[in-house]
């Protein structure tokens, strides 16, 4: 209430200011017309006679056009053009009114009309610009931390304006650095673009720079790696703008500065999605997300809410995870109906109740155990959750006429050496064979590691660095594919919208990353030196681990799709009788705690080769 009242008072101060300058502009136009000398009496009397009309018409025009709504501190070209529009309209109405009431404007020289437009525009625009310059500190001595901005594009210019506006005395922006030779020598808001980022060290030594800000949100991983390496070698603190995927998804704003994260260095070009197709596929529908409290499941819920799903059912067996995502969704998406359901995908009665009660149009099956070494000793639970749990949810989707069922799979399902990968592969096979007899579209989306997901390598390394090391890496040559959670979930939505029944879609994961190099980069980002401050220790491959992950089997013949970063793996046919027989066998052995349970997997996945 107080804030709105203050705003109202400020608006009226603007209106009064604009009314106050109108007489100065009108009489000043006469004074200029007569060369800054005495205005003849008859013309002065005519000017004073017309003044009430001028003030009234111009004030009403200003209010009607809305020039008083602009914030003086943030005045820009659109605000100035609006002022010019109001002045021109007001002048036209004034001229017409005086033509009617003042004897064909005999005492209003035509040059006065032109001078009035110029003077009033200058007074209204000039006062606003002066206010902004004063607020931004352009009339004061520069002080604060000396800053260099890497990147002289639109993001760098926006960052400079934000810092001048919001922190005028905290930062002193001394220069831009940019790789574009055509920009070098120019200025952005009086700050010079001096050279490429390669000279950063010399600039820091010469000007005693305190902070470097990287303002290249569209940079790919190679470009970002180069900029970060340059900054790391200087020993000066550096920060970056959010990446393109964060800006596009609304997670962050352009002015939000933060520390450089590992996903900035492993990220790729922003995903270009067909949002119209995605919205048409999912808008105004009830969507069920299993494993909704997990890393992928929770981000899927956020993305679904952003594309106007009318009702999202959150299904998860972890009470805390379910509570956390429910609270977040209620706060961020108050207009979307959210229903949390605590339950296990392996509980057929609970799952059946969810389908009966909510009748979802689409199901995203993200519930799964995923920790490879841990699951090697948990055969029964791994098969129960990742394979038989998928069968329960898929069968319910089929029987209830769900439009589409999307299975979230993994690259570990390809030529699996782990129990987790083998379970995921039989889950893929079951959904594929069910697709041939169901009206429901069964779509599988397969991808690699997700940065920052629960239990993944990056949080583990960060914790080890925090404790002073050592970082434990299983093998110096181990590589993995990585992508951000946001990119992965957005591509899942794209695949779900374009997907054909029974197909496996493989996300483009870019180039594999050496885990040893990832560990070194994380150490450097923490401000420490690999091998000196934090040691890297190689411990050997763990049960179920492979040196190199694969995204598709040799027999799957990967082909491109219309989506840039989504590929199609050709389906390998497995007989329906064999699939059902193996799943029934697994279920029987599961109930009797049969120790040979894992042997069932090899009947469907003969390439399954457990690590000895």
- Lowest mean pLDDT across 375-379, 467-471, 532-536, 594-598: 594-598
Q: Quick check: 105 pLDDT over 60?
A: no
For residue 164, give Cα distances in angstroms to 122, 151, 404, 501: 24, 17, 51, 54
Omega before residue 470 within 30° of 0, cis:
yes
Q: What is the pLDDT of residues 430-440, one digit of tens each?
A: 998 898 888 99
Closest CA to 396 of 352, 353, 361, 364: 352
**Token pair listed for 376:** 């090697």
Q: Quick check: 549 pLDDT over 90?
A: no
Fold entry, domain 145-260? Rossmann fold (3.40.50)
Q: What is the mean pLDDT of residues 496-516?
A: 76
Q: Quick check: 497 pLDDT over 60?
A: yes
Same fold, 145-260 and 275-604: yes
**Token pair listed for 214:** 């990287």
| Residue 104: per-residue pLDDT | 47
Q: What is the mean pLDDT of residues 88-104?
A: 76
Average pLDDT for the chain: 80
| Residue 459: per-residue pLDDT | 76
Closest CA to 443 of 409, 405, 394, 491: 405
In the chain, % of residues over pLDDT 70: 82
Q: Compute the distance between CA of residue 302 and CA of residue 573 in angstroms, rounded to an integer.
A: 35
Could you tell me how far CA 227 lies from the centroid of its own chain? Answer: 21
Q: Compute the distance between CA of residue 18 and CA of residue 21 in angstroms, rounded to an integer.
A: 5
For residue 389, give Cα distances in angstroms to 101, 348, 549, 564: 87, 8, 25, 32
Q: Compute the distance between CA of residue 226 and CA of residue 222 in angstroms, rounded to an integer.
A: 6
Is the separation of the CB atoms in 173 and 144 below 8 Å?
no
pTM higher than 0.75, yes or no? Answer: no
CATH 3.40.50.720 corresponds to the domain 275-604: yes
Q: Compute the distance between CA of residue 525 and CA of residue 535 in angstroms, rounded to an integer.
A: 15
| Residue 288: per-residue pLDDT | 96
pLDDT band, very low/low/confident/very high, at 360 (cuts 50, 70, 90): very high
Would you call 330 helix, strand, or coil by DSSP? helix
| Residue 136: per-residue pLDDT | 54
| Residue 245: per-residue pLDDT | 46
**Token pair listed for 568:** 């199609």
Q: What is the mean pLDDT of residues 584-603?
A: 85
List CB contacts of 237: < 8 A, sequence separation 6 or more.
Answer: 210, 211, 212
Q: What is the pLDDT of residues 268-299, one digit of tens each?
A: 555 566 677 777 778 888 999 999 999 899 99
**Token pair listed for 558:** 């990967």
Q: Label the pairing between strands 311-316 and 286-290.
A: parallel
Q: Label the pairing between strands 536-538 and 471-473.
A: parallel
- Lowest mean pLDDT across 62-76, 348-362, 366-380, 555-569: 555-569
**Token pair listed for 471:** 């970082």
pLDDT band, very low/low/confident/very high, at 596 (cuts 50, 70, 90): confident
Q: Label the pairing between strands 441-447 and 479-480.
A: unpaired
Q: What is the mean pLDDT of residues 491-518?
A: 78
- Lowest mean pLDDT across 85-99, 359-373, 490-504: 490-504
| Residue 253: per-residue pLDDT | 47
For residue 205, give Cα distances in angstroms to 9, 94, 170, 192, 209: 50, 62, 21, 18, 7
Q: Quick check: 42 pLDDT over 70?
A: yes
Q: Compute the distance between CA of residue 40 and CA of residue 45 in angstroms, rounded to an integer.
A: 9
Domain ranges of the chain: 2-135, 145-260, 275-604
**Token pair listed for 8:** 């109202």
| Residue 452: per-residue pLDDT | 63
Q: What is the mean pLDDT of residues 390-412?
A: 93
pLDDT band, very low/low/confident/very high, at 357 (cuts 50, 70, 90): very high
CB burial of residue 324 (10 Å; 0-12, 13-18, 19+): middle
């Amino acid at each position: 209430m107080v804030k709105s009242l203050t705003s109202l008072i400020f608006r009226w101060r603007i209106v009064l200011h604009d009314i106050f300058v109108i007489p100065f502009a009108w009489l000043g136009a006469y004074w200029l017309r007569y060369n800054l000398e005495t205005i003849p009496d008859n013309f002065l009397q005519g000017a004073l006679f017309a003044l009430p009309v001028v003030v009234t018409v111009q004030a009403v025009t200003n209010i009607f056009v809305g020039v008083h709504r602009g914030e003086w501190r943030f005045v820009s070209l659109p605000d100035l053009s609006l002022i010019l529009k109001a002045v021109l309209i007001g002048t036209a109405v004034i001229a017409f009114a005086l033509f009617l009431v003042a004897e064909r404007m005999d005492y209003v020289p035509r040059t006065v009309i032109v001078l009035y437009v110029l003077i009033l525009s200058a007074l209204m625009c000039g006062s606003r610009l002066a206010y902004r310059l004063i607020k931004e500190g352009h009339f004061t001595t520069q002080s604060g931390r000396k800053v260099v901005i890497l990147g002289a594009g639109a993001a760098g210019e926006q960052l400079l304006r934000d810092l001048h506006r919001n922190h005028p005395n905290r930062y002193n922006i001394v220069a831009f650095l940019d790789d574009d030779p055509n920009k070098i020598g120019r200025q952005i808001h009086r700050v010079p673009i001096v050279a490429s980022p390669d000279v950063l060290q010399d600039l820091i030594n010469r000007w005693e720079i305190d902070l470097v800000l990287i303002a290249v949100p569209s940079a790919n991983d190679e470009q970002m790696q180069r900029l970060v390496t340059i900054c790391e070698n200087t020993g000066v603190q550096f920060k970056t703008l959010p990446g393109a995927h964060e800006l596009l998804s609304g997670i962050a704003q352009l002015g939000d500065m933060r520390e450089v994260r590992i996903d900035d260095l492993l990220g790729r070009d922003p995903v270009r999605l067909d949002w119209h197709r995605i919205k048409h596929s999912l808008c105004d529908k009830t969507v069920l997300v299993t494993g909704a409290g997990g890393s992928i499941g929770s981000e899927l819920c956020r993305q679904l809410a952003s594309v106007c799903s009318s009702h999202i059912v959150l299904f998860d067996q972890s009470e805390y995870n379910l509570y956390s995502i429910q609270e977040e969704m209620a706060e961020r998406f108050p207009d979307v109906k959210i229903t949390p359901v605590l339950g296990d995908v392996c509980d057929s009665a609970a799952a059946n109740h969810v389908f009966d009660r909510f009748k979802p149009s689409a199901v995203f099956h993200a519930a799964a155990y995923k920790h490879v070494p841990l699951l090697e000793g948990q055969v029964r639970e791994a098969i129960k959750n990742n394979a038989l749990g998928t069968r329960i949810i898929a069968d319910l989707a089929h029987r209830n006429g769900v439009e589409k069922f999307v299975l979230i799979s993994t690259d570990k399902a390809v030529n699996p050496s782990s129990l987790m990968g083998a379970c995921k592969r039989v889950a893929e096979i079951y959904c594929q064979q069910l697709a041939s007899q169901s009206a429901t579209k069964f779509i599988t989306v397969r991808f690699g590691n997700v940065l920052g997901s629960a239990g993944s390598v990056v949080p583990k390394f960060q914790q080890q660095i925090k404790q002073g090391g050592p970082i434990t890496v299983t093998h110096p040559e181990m590589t993995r594919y990585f992508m951000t959670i946001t990119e992965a979930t957005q591509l899942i939505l794209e695949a779900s919208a374009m997907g054909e029944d029974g197909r496996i879609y493989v996300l483009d994961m870019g180039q594999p990353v050496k885990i040893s190099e990832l560990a070194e980069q994380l150490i450097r980002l923490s401000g420490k030196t690999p091998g000196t401050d934090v040691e890297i220790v190689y411990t050997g491959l763990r049960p179920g681990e492979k040196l190199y992950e694969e995204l598709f089997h040799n027999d799957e013949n990967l082909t491109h799709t219309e989506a840039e970063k989504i590929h199609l793996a050709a389906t390998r046919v497995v007989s329906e009788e064999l699939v059902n027989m193996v799943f029934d066998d697994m279920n029987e052995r599961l109930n009797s705690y049969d120790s040979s349970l894992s042997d069932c997997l090899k009947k469907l996945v003969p390439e399954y080769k457990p690590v000895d």
